[in-house]
Amino acid sequence: MIKTIKTIAKKTASCAICGLVAASTATPAFAAAFNGSAVGTTGASFLNLGVGGKAMGMGGAYTAVAENASAAYWNPAGLVQINKMSAIFMQASYLADINYQYAAYAQRINSETVIAGSIMLTDIGKIDRTDVSGTALGDTFSPRDQVFSLSYSRAIQELSDKDHDLSLGVTAKYYSSKIVDTASGVAFDLGIMAYYFPTIPYRLAFVMQNLGSGPKFDQERSPLPLTFKVGGSISPFRNLLVSVDGIIPRGNSVYAAAGAELSMEPYEKSRISLRAGLDTQKMSITGGTSGISLGMGMALQFFTLDYAYVPMGELGSTHRFSLSFDFPFWTPLFQRRDRSVFSSVEQFVVPNK
């Protein structure tokens, strides 16, 4: 009887997600907002900047990976893969001398629950103030953006068994954007991730990002860059990870991202990783090797340093450096002795289900 209830619940959840996406894409208003002709119609674009050297080195195909504290940004459901605690700090050099920083901390509460907090700050630099005709007024202004987030992730024991686990996550975000005036608002992310443990383990995930009210600087409120993502990742070999995402963004065309990571462990509690990724949306940028990303990471004991290089054609190149701290030493979920997202806080072993 219990098995039957689980099966029905799983199918209901899957149908609900598919139904939501299908119903949304069926409306003319939705179709008009989610295609290339709607470029430039959304506000708060800084919510889509991307964080973490590992994720960006894999082309942003991270919906079904989302392993450390940066999962608070990519898919809050993935936070339950954290053993006890995780923190990440990132510095990004973006286009046109724009810089932004990201920091997140995640803490396991019990065998099923992880919470996290994060902050993102952008620094666009000083811009000369002009009038409507372009005449300099002799002073400058400094646009800035801020995002503060709280995330909650929980493994659903009722929908998990020895062959797979399921987790849900939600992130609440308060954002503030200053140009000359300031606008602010609240947004939410909702994520689902399923973990399967056959001979070749894999993950499937769905996330909805930036659901909420957009910024209002004058009389008109701009919609947020609402985004739907469906992703999958697989580990065909112990030290190889491959992932792919399908993305439906408001204010642009549907696109895909793919990434891969190859790791080696030269010493105990150490790891070296090489990464590459592809983003089909960035491929539309002319010049250079836009759309291709490269990255690497080095882990020693509890610390990991990651770097990502993402060229954007004639616009320039971007660089992201991130330092993460994971206690105990981070081991990918599929390489752990007990393959499960249910973790004991004190002993880091999985209780019998």
Place of tokens 């002709």: 37
Mean pLDDT of all residues in 319-344: 85
Mean pLDDT of all residues in 291-316: 93
Mean pLDDT of all residues in 92-107: 91
In this prediction, residue 346 has a pLDDT band, given cuts at 50, 70 and 90, of: very low
In this prediction, residue 33 has a pLDDT band, given cuts at 50, 70 and 90, of: low
pLDDT at 8 over 50: no
Mean pLDDT of all residues in 66-92: 95
Write down the pLDDT at residue 220: 74
Mean pLDDT of all residues in 30-36: 60
34-128+137-335 maps to which CATH number?
Answer: 2.40.160.60
Write down the pLDDT at residue 181: 76
pTM of the predicted model as reported, rounded to 2 decimal places: 0.85
State which of 38-42, 163-167, 293-297 shows the largest mean pLDDT.
293-297
User: Who wins on pLDDT, 224 or 256?
Assistant: 256
Place of tokens 């674009």: 45
Write down the pLDDT at residue 118: 97
In this prediction, residue 348 has a pLDDT band, given cuts at 50, 70 and 90, of: very low
pLDDT at 338 over 90: no
Q: What is the pLDDT of residues 106-121, one digit of tens each?
A: 999 998 999 999 999 9
Which of 213-222's residues contact partners 24+ apart within 8 Å by CB, and which partners? 213/185, 213/186, 213/187, 214/42, 214/43, 214/44, 214/185, 215/43, 215/44, 215/175, 215/177, 215/183, 215/184, 215/185, 216/183, 216/185, 217/179, 217/181, 217/183, 221/43, 222/41, 222/42, 222/43, 222/44
Mark out the alpha helices in the chain (DSSP H runs). Answer: 2-26, 28-33, 53-57, 71-74
According to DSSP, the residues that pair with 123 across neighbouring strands are: 99, 144
pLDDT at 31 over 70: no
Write down the pLDDT at residue 223: 86
Write down the pLDDT at residue 194: 95
Write down the pLDDT at residue 143: 77
Mean pLDDT of all residues in 78-101: 92
Write down the pLDDT at residue 71: 97
Write down the pLDDT at residue 40: 60
E strands in the chain: 85-93, 99-108, 113-123, 127-130, 136-141, 144-155, 164-178, 182-196, 202-212, 227-237, 240-249, 255-264, 270-279, 292-300, 303-311, 317-327
Domain residue ranges of the chain, discontinuous segments joined by +: 34-128+137-335
Q: What is the pLDDT of residues 222-244, one digit of tens each?
A: 888 999 999 999 999 989 999 99
User: Who wins on pLDDT, 25 or 269?
Assistant: 269
Phi, psi (rounded to 5 degrees) for 72? -60, -30
